[in-house]
Amino acid sequence: MLTIKGLVKRYGAGDPVLKDLELEVPGEEVVSVIGSSGAGKSTLLRCINRLVEPTSGTITLNGTDFTALGKRDLRIGRRRIGMVFQSFNLVDRLTVMENVQSGRLGYISTWAALTRRYPKQDIQRAFELMERVGIAHYADKRADELSGGERQRVGVIRALMQQPEILLADEPTASLDPKTSEQIMTLLRDLARELKLPVIINIHNVNEARQFSDRIVGMRYGRIIFDDLPAALTDDAMHEIYSGIPHADRQVEGEAA
């Protein structure tokens, strides 16, 4: 279970990006986080594994307070959190297998990493997962030879190789065409069920959020203003999440774009 309490993230002196945010993700459910650009979705996700350092608040995953971890413990802690990225973030010049095995880098010895002598059970698991998503025959191909959908599958498998306790997906389908995007969402939902894994997905496509998640969280200006079942996401709620952006915030957004 992931529990976030009083999370604040402030860059410099300005208005905080996340304002006293509370969120609880129990057990094995798929949670979609929606909201306009700049609402703080990505910052929220990155605070969980501390790719972004939270300003204050606590983030607890199955009893471990991540905000209190030192450098070394944080590395060990990060093995328990898988992350999938919008632009896949693969190492293009490495093979698919090397990319998949890099999910195990937190576990294996430096020598094994250097010589690419991965443990047998890791290779076994990699092939099983790659088989499951249909990329096993690409094992020896270079990552940049694959199409977008295939590359994101590699990204998902890399995260799953960590045997994580939670999966974070930061707009995993935003760089993909609609059909591929749907396949990846289906995959995330099905894998979450098979592996009994809670998943938090930042997503722009509200229809996909409705279709694939058990719960939808709506963010606006660093706060959670909607948190309910997909069926409860009415037009009014949508309006509140996405429209009526005040003048000041709109300007900030324009600069960011």
Partner 1 sequence: MEQACLQEWSRYTPQQRFTRYAWFALAALVVSWALGSVDIIWAWVWDAPAQMGDLFRRMVPPDPTHLGAILEALWDTVNLATIATALAVVLALPVAYIAAQNTTPNAVTLWIGRFILVSSRSVNTIIWALLFVAIFGPGIVAGIVAIMFRSIGFLGKLLGEAIEEIDPKPVEALQACGASHFKVVLYAIVPQVMPTFFAVSILRWDINLRESTVLGLVGAGGIGVILQGAIDTFNWQEVSMVLLAIIALVVVGEVVSSYLRRRIL
Q: Which residues bind partner 1 (CB under 8 A)?
A: 49, 51, 75-79, 81, 83, 85, 87, 89-94, 98, 102-106, 110, 113-114, 155, 158-159, 162
In angstroms, give the least distance from the CB of 14 to partner 1: 23
In angstroms, give the least distance from the CB of 79 to partner 1: 4
Nearer to partner 1, 41 or 220 (CB): 41
Q: Where are the beta strands (DSSP E) in the chain?
A: 2-9, 18-25, 30-34, 56-61, 64-65, 81-84, 166-170, 199-202, 215-220, 223-228
- φ, ψ dihedrals at 245, nearest 5°: -70, 125
Nearer to partner 1, 89 or 147 (CB): 89
In angstroms, give the least distance from the CB of 153 to partner 1: 15
Nearer to partner 1, 3 or 102 (CB): 102
Task: List the one residue out of 231, 227, 229, 156 whose CA is nearest residue 194.
Answer: 156
In angstroms, give the least distance from the CB of 133 to partner 1: 18
Nearer to partner 1, 31 or 154 (CB): 154
The half-sphere exposure of 253 on its side-chain side, counting CA atoms within 13 A, is 13
Can you tell me whether residue 167 is helix, strand or coil? strand
Spatial distance between the Cα atoms of 237 and 171, rounded to a whole number of angstroms: 21
